[in-house]
Amino acid sequence: MEYHNPVLLKESVDGLAIKPDGIYVDVTFGGGGHSRKILERLGPEGKLYAFDQDKDALENKIDDNRFTLINENFRYLKRFLRFYGVKQVDGILGDFGVSSHQFNEAERGFSTRFDAKLDMRMNQGDKLSAYEVINEYEEEQLKKLFYAYADLKNAPKLARTIVSERKNNPIETSEQLNELLKPLLFKGKENKILAQIYQAIRIEVNQEIEVLKEFLLQTEEIIKPDGRMSLISYHSLEDRLVKRYIRSGLFEGEPEKDMYGNISVPFKKVNGLVVPSKEEIKQNNRARSAKLRVARKL
């Protein structure tokens, strides 16, 4: 099964400062590229747990007695680590992009390139798919979604057009959706804007923002003092949440100060923002919007 090169592979794994006998978690297993790199640096006593809710990822399972693959969403990080008797770990790696495999499987409906049923579920067992979002959401909900997750100025027009079309016929495939929306998109930028629209629908279908927040809030308890997290985001919403959480332990507002004006935060950033080299972007176009942030637990 084709999974492309993992993005920022060396930088993200270096960020974990791996101890050979440590316990690590890769919360976005995918093709297993990051996990294999972590295992290379672990000694015989080390342990790696990986999460992936997509059952296709099970086909890449690594045969290594130090490795356990958990076929679940990483929003349940604490619950499933507990199940394996793990209370704390030395580091967590997350790469929040959609895998190239998911984009390249036409029937999953993630890509604007193929005509496929509107789906976009990372977990094929979930009830909500892109079909429900496009055909059942109120106009106001669609408008908010295109504003919030794709920053599209013409969100009201997009939402209105979708709602008006589906009164006559349900919108069932990506081809139908593309044809319907293309007249509303800036000439020469159609593909870019369609990709943003698909991103917004995908974030909604998979509750990606809620999932990321739930995950981040568990890291404070799960990562040992001096342990690391190394997180790769692909759009500004995710990156903003990661950045704010590292800076203040909150997603909005400012942390409280004690009587001396000091703030108590769970993490400290290890270095500035890391982005892929020109060389990496040339070899792997998916890397172009990736941003890596590394933090150490205080």
pLDDT-derived band of residue 114, with 50, 70 and 90 as boundaries? confident
The mean predicted confidence, pLDDT, of the chain is 93
Can you tell me the mean pLDDT for 149-178?
96
| 28 SS3 class | coil
Q: Return phi, psi of residue 218, to 5°.
A: -85, -20
Can you tell me the mean pLDDT for 67-87?
98
- Residue 251 is predicted with a pLDDT of 95
Q: Write the CATH number of the domain with boundaries 9-99+208-297.
A: 3.40.50.150
Is 63 labeled as ligand-binding? Answer: no
What residues contact residue 111 under an 8 Å CB cut-off, 6+ apart?
Answer: 103, 104, 174, 198
- Residue 42 is predicted with a pLDDT of 98
Burial of 183 (0-12, 13-18, 19+ CB in 10 A): exposed
Is 74 labeled as ligand-binding? Answer: yes
- Residue 40 is predicted with a pLDDT of 98
Q: What is the pLDDT of residues 168-201, one digit of tens each?
A: 999 999 999 999 999 999 899 999 999 999 999 9
State how far the Cα of 29 lies from the Cα of 37, in Å rounded to an integer. 12
- Residue 197 is predicted with a pLDDT of 96
pLDDT at 219 over 80: yes
State how far the Cα of 280 lies from the Cα of 269, in Å rounded to an integer. 24
- Residue 90 is predicted with a pLDDT of 99
- Residue 103 is predicted with a pLDDT of 59
The dihedral region occupied by 216, where left means phi > 0, alpha psi between -120 and 50, and beta the remainder, is: alpha
- Residue 98 is predicted with a pLDDT of 74
State how far the Cα of 220 lies from the Cα of 53, in Å rounded to an integer. 22
pLDDT at 105 over 90: no
- Residue 104 is predicted with a pLDDT of 66
Question: Does CATH number 1.10.150.170 belong to domain 127-205?
Answer: yes
Is 33 labeled as ligand-binding? Answer: yes
Describe the strand order of the beta sheet including 223-233 as a list of residue ranges.
67-70, 47-51, 23-26, 89-95, 223-233, 291-297, 267-269
Whole-number Cα distances in Å, 120 to 172, 188, 229: 13, 25, 28
Please say whether the beta carbons of 151 and 240 come within 8 A: no
- Residue 102 is predicted with a pLDDT of 63
Instruction: Say whether pTM exceeds 0.85.
Output: yes
State how far the Cα of 12 lies from the Cα of 5, in Å rounded to an integer. 13
pLDDT-derived band of residue 115, with 50, 70 and 90 as boundaries? confident
Q: Which residue has the higher pLDDT, 101 or 283?
A: 283
pLDDT-derived band of residue 106, with 50, 70 and 90 as boundaries? low
Listed by start position, the domains of the chain span 9-99+208-297, 127-205
pLDDT at 2 over 70: no
In angstroms, how far is the first alpha carbon of the chain from the final one? 40
In the chain, where do the E strands start and end? Answer: 23-26, 47-51, 67-70, 89-95, 223-233, 267-269, 291-297
